[in-house]
Structure 1
């Protein structure tokens, strides 16, 4: 018997000489994956033709033999052995380059690479997920083009190449080093002059940098410096090449005394230009009058210990730095300014005495002239503080529809009246209190949404300060019964006496192990992992032939009961009945 093989993508086509014996019934095909391995029959049904295709093969070498089987079930010796090597390796891409290797938005890039074998079509090439366009190929060398897009990120670009060889094997290659994108504008700032001088020659200095983004920066090309006077329109002072970091500005030639603002804008070697800032980098003024402070206010005007107070005031002129603000000698914190209007914040301290607080303001203008103000009318301290609520709990913590829930919590101080308590915006009912510990009752409503419930508590103390607390962790509403899915039996078809593993998945954590029966008889719990249960059952003689009924029931922690019945997972297979009525119909001498 002869065997011949042909290889296609992932399959082996076998052919052999026809067996012409009249009692031939079929052929069997055997395969192994190593020269010393054991042959295994691979045809699920009898092979009636003298050919066979073994499909779905991974890469590697396979060995085959064929046998013939006659109508009496006799199987011939094995045929000659043949082998075949399956190619499952995709093409490789190498020597990936980009020219230029550094580019900004709108630049045209030429991408070249080499493929390891012949492809069925031009490969797909993307840069940062955007398609590149085929240009040409010479042998195994390809050229594509790409235009840098606004959406391309700064730094190394990801070039991805994919293609398919003539056997249908897919391959890919990538590079994150061939091309760098520079979209980032450089940064610069005028760092001088600072303060006030009486001379008209102002030494304007600046710094600039092209900070690397994803390890790349093209470097500074030039810096433009702009100036204005007393908040007027800005004018270009000059454009200065990289390496220049200062120039003398003659104020007498640009209006004399006043407040001069300066800012800079740098350009890098890729052509990216820094945008103008929203305000001057630095302002220099000539000033002989000390600053004053007015319009001092505190919000709220009465605050308790721990309370946050916003302090606002206005300075008469631009200051050299944010002024120092204290409340009863404790530092307040700068928050913001708009023009010469300042906002500070302060948290009332335990050591702050009840009554009028002293707000002290101190600041200096750019000339170094100091001004100050002391205010004792804007803020009054009340150290009692608003009540707080803690130890918020619900029993049960998980509740179903119509369930009665007991809510408990503790107030930090005595209240003027029982606090208001709501659950999901609906009122809970006061039950009792012991000291500052309260108990309320609530029944889960149909309108309560499934999931964490919001418990809101509010109450006031004798000073009229109101405290509130919101809790979303103490109580969870669960109105959904557990469900059981993925019911399976192993083995799915079993005779009497066979041990069957019944597995299924619960939709949520259960309060206890579910009850499982097979044809009304209990199965035994074996294990559970992450709501995946395994039970065991042994087929008994009382189990009827055919589909068995697997029944599952269980409850979740909220008391919702769920059940499932399955008649497809397990088939009871009993042996056929013994033949009856056997007689001798003729005696043979």
Structure 2
């Protein structure tokens, strides 16, 4: 180790041979030198560099390796670190085994120093499960013992998984059962996605099943009767995803047998209803199936809307049922509700319609006038039209339309354009609209007086002339 030379007491009279040396001072660095003496008494001189250095060591070095648990690239890195408290490290060797076979010494050389670095491992066996450990060798020749277990492992997956879907060509009941099979030769299947298309449209993802190579999706379509195409896409445990297939794995024609209940309209707007008044709408239920269906309930959720229905009611195949839905606002504002229909239809036991409406104070009728132009000349065609809107309750009213002639205060009344007022009596339905109605239609001739003509329109209470129910509509026309 340190210190001066010490005689061992071993000697020989031969010119060559060997000594058996015991390292009595324990582990460490020794220098061993042979000193010769001739018959004249001359002795070989000793210096600090005489002989050979020998490191006596019995404790082997230690090492460890690590790597990513999954991989998609080849080659890949195996990192290592090693220590030796004695003579120092001489080299380090990488061992591996493939798919739990026999351990093999790798021919790959490390990058770095024996104390730490990495191997660029080339997996000549291809994709699969690789396990690794390292063995360090010190300068004294001590080699680390193989560990009981591998230091690290890699699931090398160089190819994507594969999958396929299968389903019956026709389906009459829901859900449609779509089975799948998936495989991956290396890391294994992580999940399988089911994609579907309706009537050759764009594909949409339906659902995923995780951790299974085989299984069945229970597919319930929102689109209804028609043709559905399916394919699956698998993803393996290293994240590699299967390519989308060029064509569907399975095609299913869905056409349910038995009853099939549907809404003729799944939404309705009652419009504006006077507060404390009501307005009804017949919600039509149709049975498009080939056997009767029983409607168990029709319900709303708010106080503003009510369904007039007593269960149960059977609808024959091809038949229909009208359910009155009433809107009765007790205050002003916009309201919305859902009408839920429950039946024994095995494919659609619950149907939902949206209804909305607005409550308001009493709303008078309105009249509107329009023409093909506000300025006309000879040979132009003049058409004057009128519209009537009654947003409130049903009522009987008189409508007056008159023209004030150019350059005077004279009024001519529709429909005969006489000087005597003529009322047009109308029965206006609840929330009704009328129009367009053509009031005037002629070509401007040379004999028509030039100037400004004013057309008036008004709605009054029936039997009166001045009890206005609407504002007076005014339309100005200039004939040049």
Q: What is the TM-score of this pair, normalised by structure 2?
A: 0.32
Q: Which has the larger radius of gyration?
A: 2
